[in-house]
Amino acid sequence: MWQRNQTSLADFILEGLFDDSLTHLSLFSLTLVVFLIAVGGNALTILLICADPRLHTPMYFLLSQLSLMDLMHVCTTIPKMATSYLSGEKSISFAGCATQHFLYLSLGGAECLLLAFMSYDRYVAICHPLRYTVLMNRKVRLMMVAMSWLGASINSLIYTAILMHFPFCGLRIIHHFYCEFPAVVKLVCGDVTVYEATVYISTILILLLPISLISTSYAFILHSVIQMRSAGSKRNAFATCSSHLTVVFLWFGACIFSYMRPRSQRTPLQDKVGSVFYSIITPTLNPLIYTLRNKDVAQALRRVLGRDMITKIL
Pairing of strands 12-14, 91-92: antiparallel
Q: Is residue 138 one of the residues assigned to a domain?
A: yes
The closest of 312, 280, 256 to 36, measured between CA atoms, is 280
Contacts (Cβ under 8 Å, ≥6 apart) of 219: none
Contact 17, 177 (CB under 8 A): yes
> Mean pLDDT score of the chain, rounded to an integer?
86
Contacts (Cβ under 8 Å, ≥6 apart) of 191: none
Structural domain boundaries, residue 128: 17-308
Q: Is residue 7 one of the residues assigned to a domain?
A: no
Q: Is residue 314 one of the residues assigned to a domain?
A: no
**What three-state secondary structure class fits 192?**
coil
Q: Is residue 4 one of the residues assigned to a domain?
A: no
Q: Is residue 298 one of the residues assigned to a domain?
A: yes
Q: Where are the alpha helices (DSSP H) in 53-131?
A: 58-87, 94-127
In this predicted model, what pLDDT tens digit does every residue of 199-256 receive, in sequence order?
Answer: 888 888 888 899 999 999 999 999 888 888 777 777 877 777 888 898 999 888 888 8
pLDDT for 2 equals 34
The Cα 178–Cα 13 span in angstroms is 10
What values do phi and psi take at 21, rounded to 5? -70, 160
Contact 69, 114 (CB under 8 A): yes
Q: Give 183's pLDDT tier (boundaries 50, 70, 90).
A: confident
The closest of 22, 70, 87, 17 to 274, measured between CA atoms, is 17
In this predicted model, what pLDDT tens digit does every residue of 118-152 receive, in sequence order?
Answer: 999 999 999 998 999 999 999 999 999 999 999 99
CA distances for 87 relative to 16, 79, 82, angstroms: 12, 12, 8
* Burial class of residue 14, CB neighbours in 10 A (0-12, 13-18, 19+): buried
The Cα 150–Cα 70 span in angstroms is 17
What values do phi and psi take at 123, rounded to 5? -60, -45
Read off the CATH number of the domain in which 146 is found: 1.20.1070.10
- Number of domains the chain is built from: 1
Q: Is residue 1 one of the residues assigned to a domain?
A: no
The closest of 203, 213, 298, 204 to 248, measured between CA atoms, is 213
Count of beta carbons in the 10 Å neighbourhood of residue 66: 26
Residues of the chain with pLDDT > 90, as a percent, come to 46
CA distances for 17 relative to 269, 270, 313, angstroms: 9, 12, 46
- What would the mean pLDDT of 162-191 be, rounded to a whole number? 88
The Cα 214–Cα 252 span in angstroms is 11
Q: Is residue 247 one of the residues assigned to a domain?
A: yes
pLDDT for 292 equals 67
Q: Is residue 142 one of the residues assigned to a domain?
A: yes
